[in-house]
Amino acid sequence: MTFSDEQLAGKIVLHAVLPVIKVLLEDDPAFKKSFEGLSGIVQFRAQDTDAPVGAYLVFDKGDFCVEQGIFEGKADLLFDFPSLKSMNDMFRGKPVLPRLGPLFKAIPSRFGLLLKTFKVLLAMKILMPNAQPKTPEKAYLKVKMSLYMVSTALSRMNKAGDPDMKAWTSKQPERIYQWSVEGSDIACYLKVKAGNTKAGRGVYTRRQPFVHMRFSSVDNALPVLSNSVDTVTAIAQGLLVNDGSPEYGGRVGDFMLRIAKLLS
């Protein structure tokens, strides 16, 4: 099965971008407080060529998760997009107005959910390459969310059957591509094995990473994740240390740039 770039971008949005909302809700004190005790289902739905695709956010009194697909019951809020492109464009930071529903029953709790969800979506703009965090706390969030998103997006590209990614993963034995930021708890990884991939959080402890991309600090990770410095320059400048195969590390960098292109 082959996918257009727009379809691939849609899968990345639904599987890799929406889930990093969890970082905001857990690590940003204001959001954490704001969603305490709040429950509700927020559906994102976009029309693809054959059928609608989507994912829904489940807020459950401070807990949060993202489920893929269309909620079987009636969601509390619906962000309905006429096309995948329009949904993707919203996450690309472009002005898009989805159809909202069901607003006819805008009871206070649902209205609160709508406002808070809007705030979250606005806060997600921190992922945009040109978004410059103004505080160390925001910088931490941007780096953490970006790395989490990228590792999941890489896995999703493979699962979607992207030919380049599939060709790259299928030839590899079990390998770990690890990202970490020194002086922080930010760490995630991509596990690859014979065509399979899995994105994970934290430091993989069951074996040595095949490639370990270590940022020396949150501040030094920012220019790389904002695409203002390429990885080769970042390594030369000491912003990033690439332990392991430089060729494979470089290839991961290529895929990361591809993801950035799909989402911009």
Instruction: Count the Cβ atoms, other than its own, within 10 Å of residue 131.
Output: 14
Q: Does 140 bind other proteins (CB under 8 A)?
A: no
Q: Is 146 helix (H, G, I), strand (E, B) or coil?
A: helix
* Site residue total, other proteins (CB under 8 A): 32
On the question of a cis peptide bond just before residue 102, with omega within 30 degrees of 0, the verdict is yes
From CA 254, how far away is CA 234, in angstroms rounded?
A: 14
Q: By C-beta, is 114 or 262 nearer to other proteins?
A: 262
Nearest to 178 by CA among 129, 126, 125, 215: 215
Instruction: Please name the amino acid found at residue 163.
Output: P
Instruction: Count the Cβ atoms, other than its own, within 10 Å of residue 77.
Output: 21
Q: Does 74 bind other proteins (CB under 8 A)?
A: no
Which of 71, 91, 179, 210 is in the footprint of other proteins by CB under 8 A?
Answer: 210
Q: By C-beta, is 9 or 229 nearer to other proteins?
A: 9
Which of 30, 167, 194, 257 is in the footprint of other proteins by CB under 8 A?
Answer: 194
From CA 211, how far away is CA 175, in angstroms rounded?
A: 8
Instruction: Count the Cβ atoms, other than its own, within 10 Å of residue 138.
Output: 15
Q: Does 22 bind other proteins (CB under 8 A)?
A: yes
Q: Does 196 bind other proteins (CB under 8 A)?
A: yes
From CA 4, how far away is CA 85, in angstroms rounded?
A: 11
Please report how close the Cβ of residue 67 comes to other proteins at its closest, in angstroms. Answer: 10
Q: Is 122 helix (H, G, I), strand (E, B) or coil?
A: helix
Q: By C-beta, is 176 or 262 nearer to other proteins?
A: 176
Which of 156, 169, 186, 221 is in the footprint of other proteins by CB under 8 A?
Answer: 156
Q: Does 94 bind other proteins (CB under 8 A)?
A: no
Please, which of residues 162-191 interact with other proteins by CB under 8 A? 171-175
Please, which of residues 36-65 interact with other proteins by CB under 8 A? 65
Q: Which stretch binds other proteins (CB under 8 A): 37-45, 74-82, 108-116, 192-200?
A: 192-200
What is the C-alpha R_g of the chain?
19
Q: Does 201 bind other proteins (CB under 8 A)?
A: yes
- Please check whether residue 95 is in contact with residue 80, taking contact to mean a CB–CB distance below 8 angstroms: no
Q: By C-beta, is 114 or 190 nearer to other proteins?
A: 190
Residues lying near other proteins in the complex (CB under 8 A) are found at 15, 19-20, 22, 65-66, 148, 152, 155-156, 171-175, 193-194, 196-201, 206-210, 244-245, 247-248
